[in-house]
Amino acid sequence: MIGGGLCDAGELLVGPARKAFARNLTGRGFRPAADIDLAALGPNAGLIGAADLSRVSSRMHS
């Protein structure tokens, strides 16, 4: 997943990243390649994830 401000680059970043990953992947044919996609929450993905982690963590320590 590509998140945060990098989402603004869209396919300009994702396309070349997919090609470079496929070109440099070791063990091709023996395991599935990871998907490289934009985070569904876009540039707010990291912030939302951190807030959720904080919320869950505070419940565990209460």
Structure token pair of residue 43? 């540039």
pTM of the full structure:
0.62
Tell me the pLDDT band of 62, cut-offs 50, 70 and 90.
low
Residues 2-48 pLDDT 10s: 888 888 889 999 999 999 998 888 877 787 878 899 888 888 888 88
* pLDDT at 5 (0 to 100): 83
For the chain, domain boundaries = 4-60
- SS3 letters for 10-24? CHHHHHHHHHHHHHH
